Amino acid sequence: MKNQIIEKWQSEEKSRGAWSNLPDIHIAETLARSGLDWICFDLQHGLMDYSHLTQLLPAITGLPITPVVRVAANQPDQIGKALDAGARGVIVPMINSAEDARQAVAACYYPPKGLRSCGPMRDAMVEGLSYLGSANEDIACLLMIETEEGLSNLEAIAAVPGVTGLFVGPMDLTYGLGLAPGDFSNDRFNAALQKIMQACRSNRLACGMFGYNAEMAAESLEQGFDFVSIGSDISMLRDGLAQALTTAKAEVKSSEPSRGGY
C-alpha cells in the first residue's frame, strides 16, 4: 500500500494519524482499523522498544494504514532497523542543522539517493525484491524542528535533498524557545510555526504537527499543516474513559426518582 502521508500530500489532501506509545498488538490493530491514514510508533518516548516493533508492525500489515516510527535518535542503525522492520517512514527528533538532515536522509534511502544498507527483512517477506524498486519513493523522511538552533538553520535544513517533510513537536518547541511548557498561544511560538510552514511551502515539503487531541489537530490543519496526529493511544483511552464516566454519572443522576415530599 502506498505511503498515505506522501500520497495525500502530493494530492493536496490532509492526512490524520495517531500516536502509539503502548506496546500492545490489540491497541495497534484497533487504531489501524479505525480509518486513520497513519500511525506512529514512538521509540523515543513511548513505552516500547525495537523488540515490540517487530510484533506491532506485522500486526497491522495489510491494513489500510501507513506505519511510521519515531526513532529515539538520528542514528543510521536505528533508522535502518525501523525501516527494515516494516516502517514506511521515520520521524527523526532533534534536527538542528543541515548536516543532521543529510545524515537522516542518507540513512533512509538506498543508493544512489542515500546510504541505507540493504536488508529489508519485513518488507522483503511481504513484497519480495520488488520492495527495493519502490522503497526510495515510498519512504517518508520526516525531520523534527524543536529547538532554537533548528529554527535558526531552518532554511538550510529544508533545502536538503531527500527530506520529505518537517514535523513539529509543540511541547519541545516551547521549551526550545525558552517559553513556559505548553504556551501555545505565545506570539513567538506561533511565529515559529509560521516560519516552519513557510519553509515547507518554499521547498515543497510536507508539514506535520503532533496534535494532543482532535481539537488541536483540526486547528493545525486549518492553520495550514498537511498531516497531524489526533492524539495518542494513552490520551484517547484516558479521555474516552473520562467522557464515558461523566456521561454515565449524568444519566444515573437524571434518572433518579425525586425525593421531594410534603
Distances (CA, A) of 159 to 73, 87, 102, 166: 21, 24, 10, 11
* Residue 166 Cα to chain centre, angstroms: 10
Collect all residues with Cβ–Cβ distance below 8 Å to 188 and sequence separation of at least 6.
Answer: 177, 179
CB 162 within 8 A of CB 105: yes
- Does residue 242 fall inside a structural domain? yes
- Does residue 260 fall inside a structural domain? no
Grid coordinates in use for 201?
511551502
Annotated active-site residue 26? The verdict is no
Catalytic residue among 2, 33, 45, 201: 45
Q: What is the pTM of this model?
A: 0.92
- Does residue 162 fall inside a structural domain? yes
- Does residue 135 fall inside a structural domain? yes
- Does residue 262 fall inside a structural domain? no
Radius of gyration, alpha carbons of the chain: 20
Q: What is the CATH number of the domain that holds 15?
A: 3.20.20.60
- Domain of residue 193 covers 4-255
CB atoms within 10 A of CB 45: 13
- Does residue 261 fall inside a structural domain? no
pLDDT in 10s for each residue of the chain, 262 residues: 689 999 999 999 999 999 999 999 999 999 999 999 999 999 999 999 999 999 999 999 999 999 999 999 999 999 999 999 999 999 999 999 999 999 999 999 999 999 999 988 777 667 777 888 889 999 999 999 999 999 999 999 999 999 999 999 999 999 999 999 999 999 999 999 999 999 999 999 999 999 999 999 999 999 999 999 999 999 999 999 999 999 999 877 766 665 555 4
- The total domain count for the chain is 1
